[in-house]
Amino acid sequence: MSAPVVWINAIWILIFAICEMALSNYSEDQCSWRGSGLSQQQGSVEQISLHCSEGTLDWLYPKGALRLTLSPRLPSVAVGPGAGSSSGLITACVKPSEQFHGAQLYLERDGVLELLVGDRLETSPPPRVRCFSRLPGEKVALFLQATPHQDISRRIASFRYELRGDWTARLALDSNTISSEDACRPCNNTEILMAVCTSDFVVRGNIQSVEEDENLKAAVIKVSATRVFRQKYALFTGNSRLTSKGEIRTLLHCGVKPGPGSFLFTGRVHFGEAWLGCAPRYKDFQRAYTIAKAAQQIPCELPID
């Protein structure tokens, strides 16, 4: 490569870096942060505080360190398998980008660091979602430490985060510490009726097929939805007026199989994907809902058939 070409490339990198430095601390909604390590002094630790239940962090040209505290106002506790026994716990999950490079991500708890995501090589598999929990008032933070590289021009440490006032995120995404019995047991009638009110999606439909997501070690349920009662995002879509299509994920070891019958699917959305909560057969839900309504014990109304 000739010298003029090298100088042109260097100038473009410098211009891009200056623009990133100008935006380094800009966070309009206090949910996300984007910045450049080129604006930091060697060995410094930049303090960042975000106040939403979900967002992103993009650290270009990592140098020095970042310390991130998350202090959101969380919604009420959800219900379902594994959720009721952990009142007061807050679950946080981080999903590194597939191009996560140039830094290591740690959980800082009571002054002790626990490695969540290491610096990746070009040939490394995509990093997994990592989750942790904390009690109200417990001091935890995320700590990013830049790793030394001669060429930092292609290094970006980027991840998404979510916080929930329940266990559902951990059940869905990082289930190493959750027993199969807790994660896969059917919901009781009380949990079903509450799930209808508190879930991100409530859909009646049939299971068309079940596939395996090797990266997440999850089962992907292909659903043909005959009625969408509610959905937080456009999860179930289609051209037909009678049916729509969508996918719901659940733990692989729960052993979900395709079969006949209509179900009521409820659950949460994590990083843009639907994860299963309660899923009774629709006729069983109808029976429980009718009995509870007659006794004036339903937490919310649903226009059932």
pLDDT at 6 over 50: no
157, 100 Cβ separation under 8 angstroms: yes
Q: What are phi and psi of 142, to 5 degrees?
A: -105, 135
In this prediction, what percent of the chain has a pLDDT beyond 70? 76
Q: Which residue has the higher pLDDT, 147 or 5?
A: 147
Q: Which residue has the higher pLDDT, 103 or 19?
A: 103
pLDDT band at 202, cuts 50/70/90?
Answer: very high
The CA distance from 190 to 73, in Å, is 26
pLDDT on residue 218: 86
Kindly report the pTM of this predicted structure. Answer: 0.72
Q: Is 64 exposed, middle or buried (0-12, 13-18, 19+ CB in 10 A)?
A: middle
The CA distance from 233 to 251, in Å, is 21
Nearest Cα residue to 97 out of 122, 124, 128: 128
Q: If you average pLDDT over residues 166-174, what whole number do you get? A: 53
Mark 208-244 as b/e (b = at least 16 C-beta within 10 Å): eebeeeeebebbbbbbbbebbbebeeebbeeeeeebb
pLDDT at 21 over 80: no
Q: If you average pLDDT over residues 35-51, what whole number do you get? A: 86
User: Which residue is associated with the tokens 């505080």?
Assistant: 49
Which amino acid is it at 195? Answer: A
The CA distance from 170 to 175, in Å, is 6
Which amino acid is it at 24? Answer: S
pLDDT at 5 over 50: no
The CA distance from 67 to 185, in Å, is 38
pLDDT band at 263, cuts 50/70/90?
Answer: very high
- In this predicted structure, which of 106-115, 173-182, 205-214, 241-250 has the lowest mean pLDDT? 173-182
pLDDT on residue 191: 93
3-class DSSP state of 157: strand
Q: If you average pLDDT over residues 92-113, what whole number do you get? A: 91
Q: If you average pLDDT over residues 246-261, what whole number do you get? A: 89
The CA distance from 229 to 265, in Å, is 10
Two tokens, residue 90 = 């807050």
